[in-house]
């Protein structure tokens, strides 16, 4: 587990590495150059995009060349394993984490790279499923994992926490409910406040994940798939969606929700009834918010939607995307380039050229921002 493994011989970690260039992304139109397969994880930092993909008969990793649009195979996972998330260390962008899970054996592994993904080391393994990773801006070495502990047909929501760069993990369940925690996010200006979302709604911890409290009462079927926190004012955006019915795929309680009081109350602000998989906030202009949806309704198209006014109004932002919808959506720190994973496969990229974005509004800093009252 502690042996350093070159990425080209990586047999237990699936990685796609794409060095993003303006050449690859269409200007105000989504374009793609692959890779094949169903994308299971997507992350970006400083123009570098990582993605995991699952093929029909195998799980394969690729790395795109920097000079053209070709992809190079770099590794593969065992059968029935998949990458669930990538995470860039907020204090050291050369350090990257990856979580992989087996949905048949209910086991997970944590990998770490210290050189932007060229060499990976497996640093931990434990029972259960890891669905998302998060880290505060400080102190160093702290990680959170949205997990589920499953035995036979019974699963229990939990959050795993590490304070030693992912080597050892401790389960934190106090106050959590439901079978799964699917997403986790740390307040960017208050590292003690952590949000977790899952089948039973949203939970918040004000003591660095040690204890949790439910912070939503409506809707009662609030199944949360994505969380994003706006650093300018602490507003929390949630992407939600649930499916019920016997073969009818009846969607309920989906859409984009927003809380401006640390999760005490929520307002449905967009895409009512949709299955919203991702929410991304433009770091350069926090008024610009994007949402990715796999389906908007039983007959409606999914895709990417954008708000230029902090979530008050929304419009489709999917020119060039296939009609099947989006499973993952990430935005670079510049706010200029977005990357989306389509439900039918491939990573799509778009460059938002100057003139197509609203004027930049710089977020407030630590001294001027007023934090919402904690629950």
The 3-state secondary structure of 70-87 reads CEEEEEEECCCEEEEEEE
Give the CA-trace dihedral at 100, 115, 145, 268, to 10 degrees.
-100
* Residue 84 maps to a domain: yes
Fill in the DSSP letter of residue 24. Answer: T
Rounded to whole angstroms, the Cα distance separating 28 from 353 reads 7
Q: What is the pLDDT of residue 22?
A: 34
> Could you list the pLDDT tens digit for every one of the 375 residues in the chain?
322 332 322 334 444 444 433 335 678 889 887 777 888 999 888 777 888 888 766 655 555 444 445 565 665 777 788 889 999 999 998 999 999 999 888 899 999 999 887 788 999 998 899 999 999 998 999 999 999 988 777 889 999 999 999 999 999 999 999 999 999 999 998 999 999 999 899 999 999 999 999 997 666 678 899 999 999 899 999 999 875 433 334 446 789 999 999 888 899 999 988 889 999 999 889 999 999 998 766 546 689 999 999 999 999 998 888 878 899 999 988 888 899 999 888 889 898 875 554 443 333 333 333 333 333
pTM, full prediction: 0.86
Omega of the bond leading into 144 within 30 degrees of 0 (cis): no
* Residue 56 maps to a domain: yes
Cα–chain center distance at 135: 12
* Residue 227 maps to a domain: no
CB 118 within 8 A of CB 140: no
**Burial, 206: exposed, middle or buried (Cβ in 10 Å; 0-12, 13-18, 19+)?**
middle
Rounded to whole angstroms, the Cα distance separating 182 from 101 reads 13
Rounded to whole angstroms, the Cα distance separating 375 from 372 reads 9
Of 64, 82, 88, 76, give the one whose Cα is nearest residue 349. Answer: 64
* Residue 373 maps to a domain: no
Rounded to whole angstroms, the Cα distance separating 272 from 277 reads 13
Domain that holds residue 78: 1-126
Q: What is the pLDDT of residue 293?
A: 92
Residue that is written with structure tokens 């949000």 in the block: 195
CB 196 within 8 A of CB 176: yes
* Residue 70 maps to a domain: yes
123 backbone dihedrals φ, ψ, rounded to 5°: -110, -15
Q: What is the pLDDT of residue 69?
A: 55
The domain tally of the chain equals 1
* Residue 90 maps to a domain: yes
Q: What is the pLDDT of residue 90?
A: 93
* Residue 96 maps to a domain: yes
* Residue 3 maps to a domain: yes
CB 337 within 8 A of CB 225: no
Strand bridging mode 26-27 / 347-351: parallel
Rounded to whole angstroms, the Cα distance separating 22 from 212 reads 42
Q: What is the pLDDT of residue 249?
A: 42
């Amino acid at each position: 587990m502690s042996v350093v493994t070159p990425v080209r011989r990586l047999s237990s970690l699936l990685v796609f590495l794409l060095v993003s260039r303006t050449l690859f992304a269409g200007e105000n139109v989504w374009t793609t150059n692959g890779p094949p397969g169903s994308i299971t994880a997507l992350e970006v930092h400083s123009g570098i995009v990582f993605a995991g993909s699952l093929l029909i008969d195998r799980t394969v990793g690729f790395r795109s060349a920097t000079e053209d649009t070709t992809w190079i195979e770099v590794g593969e996972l065992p059968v029935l394993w998949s990458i669930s998330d990538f995470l860039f260390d907020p204090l050291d962008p050369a350090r990257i984490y990856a979580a992989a899970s087996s949905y048949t054996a209910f086991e997970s592994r944590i990998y770490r790279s210290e050189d932007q993904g060229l060499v990976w080391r497996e640093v931990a393994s434990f029972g259960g499923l890891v669905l998302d990773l998060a880290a505060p801006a400080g102190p160093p070495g702290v990680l959170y994992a949205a997990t589920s502990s499953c035995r036979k047909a019974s699963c229990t929501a939990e959050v795993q926490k590490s304070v030693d760069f992912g080597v050892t993990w401790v389960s934190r369940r106090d106050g959590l409910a439901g079978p799964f925690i699917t997403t986790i996010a740390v307040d960017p200006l208050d590292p003690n406040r952590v949000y977790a979302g899952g089948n039973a709604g949203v939970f918040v911890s004000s003591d660095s994940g040690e204890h949790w409290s439910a912070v939503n009462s409506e809707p009662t079927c609030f199944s949360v798939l994505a969380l994003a926190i706006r650093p300018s004012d602490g507003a929390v955006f949630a992407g939600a969606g649930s499916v019920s019915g016997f073969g009818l795929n009846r969607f309920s309680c989906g859409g984009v929700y927003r809380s401006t009081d640390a999760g005490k109350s929520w307002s449905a602000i967009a895409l009512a009834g949709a299955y919203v998989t991702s929410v991304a906030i433009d770091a350069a202009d926090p008024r610009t918010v994007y949402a990715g949806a796999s389906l908007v309704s039983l007959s409606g198209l999914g895709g990417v939607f954008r708000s230029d006014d902090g979530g008050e109004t929304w419009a489709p932002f999917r020119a060039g995307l296939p009609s099947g919808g989006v499973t993952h959506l990430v935005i670079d720190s510049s706010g200029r380039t977005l990357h989306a994973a389509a439900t039918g496969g491939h990573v799509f990229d778009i460059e938002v050229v100057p003139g197509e974005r609203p004027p930049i509004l710089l977020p407030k800093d630590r001294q001027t921002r007023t934090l919402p009252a904690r629950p």
